[in-house]
Every structure is written in C-alpha cells, then in structure tokens.
Amino acid sequence: MPSDQAFDPTRRQIVGSLASGVAAAAVAGPALGQQSSQSTSQAVGEGAAAGAGDGSLLQKQDPTEQYPKPPFPEQPQEWPGLASEMEPRPDHGEESYRGSGRLTGRKALITGGDSGIGRAAAIAYAREGADVAINYLEAEESDAREVIELIEAEGRTAVAIPGDIREESFCRELVESAVEQLGGLDILVNNAARQQWKSSITDISTEDFDATMKTNLYAMLWITQAAMPHLEAGASIINTASVVAYDPPEILLDYSMTKAAIVNFTKCLAKQVAEQGIRVNAVAPGPFWTPLQPSGGQPQENVTTFGEETPMGRPGQPVELSGLYVLLASQESSYATGHVYSATGGRGGP
C-alpha cells in the first residue's frame, strides 16, 4: 500500500483508539496471540523476513532491530505483485504466529488474503481457530496457494475464491460462495487495495482512477452489502485504511482519497449496525512491507529507502498487524466500534 509523506506505506494509519485497557490489549495482542519456539533466523529459512532478530515474539526485543531496515534493492514487479518475489520476503507470521483459541469456530472472509496484511490476518485467524476464505486475483495464485496450505495445516477450512472485485456481480458471488463453503460468516475483512503512484493529477487517467475507486471503495460497499444478511450479533467488520488518510503524500492522490473515504465509511456504518450487535472498525497502518510497494505503489527509488523516515527506521512487517486484526475480530474488543487503529512506526496519528 502507500508511503506516508514522501515514501509512505502500504496502507493506513489511525484515528482513534479505545480506552487505555483495550488500546493496551491491541499492543499486547501479537505477544499474547503469537508464540514461537522457532528463532527468527529459522523463520527466515522458511521464507519469513530476513534479518529479523533472534528469539520468539514473546521475548523482549529491540523493535528497531527486529526486522530488516533499508536500504533495500530495487525490485520492480508488475501489478499486483507477489510476496514470493520480494527481497527480503515479508514476514506474515508463517513461522512466528501461534494462536490461543481467541477466534475458535468463527468464519472469516478476507479480501487480498494472498499476501501482505490480508495474508497475515488469514494466518493469524486460522491459528486462533477460525475457518478462512480468501479472495485474490488470478495473477496472485501462487501466493494464495501458500496461504491455503498454511490454513489447512491448522486443521481449519480454507476457501480460495479468485476473482476481480472491481466487478459488482463477482463481489456478490464472492460473499455467497464464502458463506456456502464456510457454513456462515462472522468476520469480514475488507483489505484488498490498488495503489499506483503518479507525480501529478494530470497523469491520472480516467481508467486508472476508475480502477482505484472500484478496487478500494466500490468493492468494499458491494461486498459489505452482500455480507450484511449473513452477519449476526457478535459479527465484526474490519476495513483497512491508511496513514495517508490523514497525511497524504503528493504522489498518491487517488489512493489517499479512497483511504480517507474508508475512515468515514467505517465510522458511519458502525452507527448504522450497532443495534444489530455488529461492530465495524478499521486499521490504518503506516509503511508496511508488502507487494503493493514494488508493483507500482512507490517509485523504485522510494522502495530502496522504504520506511527509513519513521522513528523505527524501518517498514513494518505484516505480522506486526496480526494482533490488531485478531483483537478487533474477537470478543475482547466488544465495546470497540467506529474506531480506527494504527501502527505507524512512530510517525504519529491524525
């Protein structure tokens, strides 16, 4: 997703937070829900992020040294990009996330679940006891297969539904297929996004603008509309916003517009469905290391320095958001709705 300011991230950043206790739980989420007897160096060998610090995620570590820092090599990819072709490979929690039954029996649909933040959420949900359906584009099939295997390895039902969410008919079919194959729906994560940088408003074609709006906004509306009849009291909707909703970089005009709209969609929908016992929240990350960046989301010179402008001096890894997505899907955050939460590496909130 994007780049905050000159380099921004991949997606998102925060608006508000819960009471201090819940906010603390969000921070503690990864530590409480993720345990690993594997060292990070072992995880690297299995495809996790290279350069991460040694020890499990429960051990005290220096977060500034926990994952790779720039400079990174230039690595242009065709959109939508693959995590398997990134250097270093992102850490989605493949080896490091271990659950504790916080979502046992839940059924989740995640768009953009093949890589990046959606993949991290899918892995975490499965290890917390949920059955998971993921949507992705056909070009992302190889990444998606890895996710499906990881979900199934936990003994959970894994459903792969490839297709283009820019098409309204497919969005509605996506939800119906997920409900049918999962046997219901409790968690909806609207995460898929399109980000393509342009230096000037005059460089944004109508075709590009339309593709970004349909991927980031129209699809969220269509999918949520289709999901509503299947969501019962206790269900959770989680949308992926971005830090750029609050501090838009000049090269991400159309993308930043959509992320600001997602914040308002989240807050308004939360008010509409609160009486039904359905909660709606958003996560707004800062710079996160996902395929969105090298596949046109950033100029290549920005990819090489991605995340270095944060106080942490590095981009976030997708697994570092797992705890937030689990918390917001679980009953632990039962009084949280209409909020936006961030993890920005110290760049600050709105």
pLDDT per position as a tens digit, 186-237: 999 999 999 999 999 999 999 999 999 999 999 999 999 999 999 999 999 9
Predicted pLDDT at 57? 66
**Cα–Cα distances in angstroms (integers) from residue 69 to residues 88, 116, 165, 310, 311, in the given order:** 10, 17, 33, 11, 12
Average pLDDT (275-289) is: 97
- Burial category of 222 from C-beta neighbours within 10 Å (exposed 0-12, middle 13-18, buried 19 and up): buried
Is residue 31 in some structural domain?
A: yes
Residues above pLDDT 70, as percent of the chain: 83
- 99-141 pLDDT, tens digit each: 999 999 999 999 999 999 999 999 999 999 999 999 999 999 9
Select from 291, 286, 318 the least CA-distant residue to 303.
Answer: 291
- 330-339 pLDDT, tens digit each: 999 999 999 9
The residues with which 145 forms a beta bridge, in sequence order, are none
Predicted pLDDT at 29? 41
Is residue 65 in some structural domain?
A: no
Helix (H, G, I), strand (E, B) or coil at 147: helix
Predicted pLDDT at 59? 79
* 97 carries an active-site annotation: no
DSSP string, 175-194: HHHHHHHHTS-SEEEE----
pLDDT at residue 319 tops 50: yes
For the chain, counts of helices (H) and of strands (E): 10, 9
pLDDT at residue 303 tops 80: yes
130 and 157 Cβ atoms separated by less than 8 Å: no
From 97, 255, 325, 341, active-site residue? 255
Is residue 72 in some structural domain?
A: no
Helix (H, G, I), strand (E, B) or coil at 335: coil
* Residue indicated by tokens 């679940």: 113
* Residue indicated by tokens 């949920």: 130
| Separation CA 151–CA 119 (nearest Å) | 10
Is residue 57 in some structural domain?
A: no
Q: What is the mean pLDDT of the chain?
A: 87
Is residue 75 in some structural domain?
A: no
Predicted pLDDT at 30? 39
118 or 35, higher pLDDT: 118
Domain that holds residue 127: 2-52+83-343
- 82-97 pLDDT, tens digit each: 999 999 999 999 999 9
282 and 270 Cβ atoms separated by less than 8 Å: no
Is residue 337 in some structural domain?
A: yes
- 253-267 pLDDT, tens digit each: 999 999 999 999 999
> How many independent structural domains does the chain possess?
1
Is residue 59 in some structural domain?
A: no
* Residue indicated by tokens 């921070």: 27
Confidence of residue 45 (pLDDT cuts 50, 70, 90): very low
| Separation CA 176–CA 153 (nearest Å) | 25
| Separation CA 160–CA 165 (nearest Å) | 14
pLDDT at residue 25 tops 70: no
**Cα–Cα distances in angstroms (integers) from residue 142 to residues 28, 225, 265, in the given order:** 32, 29, 32
Is residue 78 in some structural domain?
A: no
Query: What CATH number has the domain bearing residue 315?
Result: 3.40.50.720
20 or 223, higher pLDDT: 223
Helix (H, G, I), strand (E, B) or coil at 327: helix
Predicted pLDDT at 56? 57
Token readout for 254 is 């159309």
